[in-house]
């Protein structure tokens, strides 16, 4: 049985714009439907604005998973992981992309456009999209993270 096509969102800042556009084309050519959350060009923008857009799209179920990039990926990592339901993983190699899906059920792939080249970024993205979550002991660990988020939302620190 074929898996249903996931709803994917993609965003970047100005440093990641060229990589975003390349990955967007790669996704379209591979038959994926994507929601490009911006920016529309390479003019200077503030990365938090686009990281928030992407995280909100996933939190509101407008997208199942997302791909976001900035210069190093660090800024976007900080932004998207502020949201309780986001498990954003910064990847600069295929091995990490595979494990973050298998073990962490990553729902946001983060890359640094000044860190990875286009070819490697496509390989990372392909691995991340096609690797399933293993569940089992890993699900127990994700449940513990949800417990932390519940504590934080109640202000019980």
Catalytic residues: 70, 103
CA–CA gap between residue 72 and residue 115 (Å, rounded): 6
* CA atoms of 48 and 16, how far apart (whole Å): 13
Contact 55, 76 (CB under 8 A): no
User: What is the 3-state composition of the chain as percent helix, strand, coil, each rounded to the nearest 5?
Assistant: 45, 15, 40
17 vs 84: CA distance, rounded Å: 26
Phi–psi pair at 9, nearest 5 degrees: -115, 150
The token pair at 128 is: 């991340």
């Amino acid at each position: 049985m074929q898996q249903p096509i996931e709803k994917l969102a993609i965003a970047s800042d100005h440093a990641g714009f060229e990589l975003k556009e390349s990955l967007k084309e790669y996704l379209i050519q591979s038959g994926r439907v994507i929601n490009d959350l911006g920016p529309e060009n390479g003019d200077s923008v503030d990365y938090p604005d686009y990281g928030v857009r992407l995280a909100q799209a996933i939190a509101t179920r407008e997208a199942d998973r997302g791909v976001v990039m900035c210069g190093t990926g660090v800024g976007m990592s900080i932004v998207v992981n502020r949201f309780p339901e986001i498990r954003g993983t910064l990847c600069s190699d295929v091995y990490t992309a595979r494990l973050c899906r298998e073990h962490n059920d990553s729902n946001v792939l983060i890359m640094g456009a000044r860190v990875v080249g286009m070819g490697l970024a496509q390989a990372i993205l392909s691995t991340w999209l096609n690797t399933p979550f293993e569940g089992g002991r890993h699900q127990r660990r994700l449940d513990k993270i949800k417990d932390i988020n519940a504590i934080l939302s109640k202000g019980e620190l």
